[in-house]
C-alpha cells in the first residue's frame, strides 16, 4: 500500500519508513505540514500517517482541510499527547485512528492494515458470519460454535472473539482490544485482557488439539490455524 508519512522528527520518520518498507509497503515522506498537505492533495495514497504537531499547518489542520475537500483517505494521527480530550479532538477533526508516542512498529502496521480493510469494505455489505478453521461465529444469532458444538460466551468474550475473527490472520494489539471491546482509549494498567483471553481460550481451544488463539509476544494476539507464534 502507498503510505504518506507526514512527520517532522527525522528519527521517528526514519523508523516508520523503515518499518513500512520492510513490510512491503511503499512509503513517501514529508517533514512539514505545508509539503505534506501538497503531497496528500496531489497524489493518491492508501493511508496517511500524520504527526499532530508539525511546522506549517499542524496535523489536525491538514486532516480538516482534506475532509473539507471530501478527501476520505484514512488518516492515522501520531502524537505525544495522550489524554482522552486530545484523542477525542483528533478523531473529531477527521482522524480515523490515534496512536500515541512512543509506539511499536508492529502496532503501527496493524493499525494501518485495519484502516485499509475498513476503507475497502465500507461500501460492501456488512459481514455477519465469520469462519476460521472449524470455528464459526454468527453475529445475527449471537452464536459461536467449534467443530459443530455450541460455545457459550459472555458478552465481553463474544466481543473479544469478534475482534479476533474480524482480523483473523493479523496481529490484534492490546490497545486495539481495549478500544474495541471495552471502549478504553487509554491503558487502564490492569490484567483485564489477560483474564478474558484466558477464559476465551478455555472455551475455544481447551478440548482441541489445534489451538486457534495465539499470543504474539510484545505485540498482541492472533486468531489463526497452524502458526508458530507462542500461545503462552
CATH of the domain at 207: 1.10.10.10
Within the chain, strands assigned E span 2-6, 26-30, 47-51, 75-79, 97-100, 129-132, 135-138, 143-146, 149-150, 172-173, 213-216, 220-223
Domain boundary among 120, 144, 178: 120
Grid coordinates of 56: 506549517
Residues 17 and 82 in one domain: yes
Quote the number of domains for the chain: 2
Task: For residue range 113-136, list pLDDT tens digits in order.
Answer: 889 887 776 555 567 899 999 999
For residue 230, tell me if it sits in a domain: no
Phi, psi (5° rounding) for residue 97?
-160, 165
Res. 178: pLDDT tops 50: yes
Residues 73 and 109 in one domain: yes
Per-residue model confidence (pLDDT) at position 230: 45
Residues 12 and 55 in one domain: yes
For residue 229, tell me if it sits in a domain: no
Q: In what order do the strands lie in the sheet with 172-173?
A: 172-173, 220-223, 213-216
Per-residue model confidence (pLDDT) at position 121: 62
Residues 187 and 152 in one domain: yes
Res. 88: pLDDT tops 80: yes
Domain boundary among 120, 138, 167: 120
Residues 68 and 160 in one domain: no
Task: For residue range 71-83, list pLDDT tens digits in order.
Answer: 999 999 999 988 8
Mean pLDDT of 37-60: 94
Which structural domain range is residue 139 located in? 129-223
Res. 31: pLDDT tops 90: yes
Q: Find out whether 140 and 128 touch, Cβ atoms under 8 Å.
A: yes
Residues 56 and 139 in one domain: no
pTM: 0.59
DSSP state, residue 213: E
Domain boundary among 120, 154, 169: 120
Mean pLDDT of 165-177: 89
Residues 100 and 135 in one domain: no
Kindly tell me the number of DSSP H helices and DSSP E strands found in the chain.
Answer: 8, 12
Res. 210: pLDDT tops 80: yes
Q: How far apart are alpha carbons 231 and 210 in whole angstroms?
A: 11
Per-residue model confidence (pLDDT) at position 232: 43
Mean pLDDT of 89-110: 91
Q: Which domain CATH number covers 40?
A: 3.40.50.2300
% of the chain at pLDDT higher than 70:
93
Grid coordinates of 1: 500500500
Res. 147: pLDDT tops 60: yes
For residue 231, tell me if it sits in a domain: no
Amino acid at each position: 500500500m502507498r503510505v504518506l508519512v507526514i512527520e517532522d522528527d527525522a528519527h521517528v520518520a526514519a523508523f516508520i519508513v523503515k518499518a513500512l518498507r520492510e513490510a512491503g509497503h511503499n512509503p513517501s515522506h514529508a517533514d512539514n505540514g505545508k509539503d505534506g498537505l501538497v503531497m496528500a492533495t496531489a497524489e493518491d495514497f492508501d493511508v496517511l500517517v500524520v504527526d499532530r504537531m508539525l511546522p506549517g499547518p499542524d496535523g489536525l489542520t491538514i486532516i480538516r482541510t482534506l475532509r473539507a475537500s471530501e478527501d476520505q483517505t484514512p488518516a492515522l494521527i501520531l502524537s505525544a499527547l495522550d489524554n482522552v480530550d486530545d484523542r477525542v479532538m483528533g478523531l473529531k477533526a477527521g482522524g480515523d485512528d490515534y496512536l500515541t508516542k512512543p509506539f511499536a512498529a508492529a502496532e503501527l502496521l496493524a493499525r494501518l492494515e485495519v484502516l485499509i480493510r475498513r476503507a475497502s469494505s465500507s461500501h460492501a455489505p456488512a459481514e455477519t458470519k465469520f469462519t476460521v478453521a472449524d470455528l464459526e461465529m454468527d453475529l445475527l444469532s449471537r452464536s459461536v460454535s467449534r467443530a459443530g458444538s455450541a460455545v457459550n460466551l459472555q458478552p465481553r468474550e463474544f466481543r473479544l472473539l469478534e475482534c479476533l475473527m474480524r482480523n483473523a490472520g493479523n496481529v490484534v494489539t492490546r490497545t486495539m482490544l481495549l478500544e474495541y471491546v471495552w471502549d478504553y482509549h487509554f491503558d487502564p494498567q490492569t490484567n483485564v485482557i489477560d483474564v478474558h483471553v484466558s477464559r476465551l481460550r478455555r472455551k475455544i481451544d481447551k478440548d482441541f488439539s489445534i489451538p486457534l488463539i495465539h499470543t504474539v509476544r510484545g505485540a498482541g494476539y492472533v486468531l489463526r490455524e497452524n502458526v508458530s507464534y507462542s500461545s503462552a
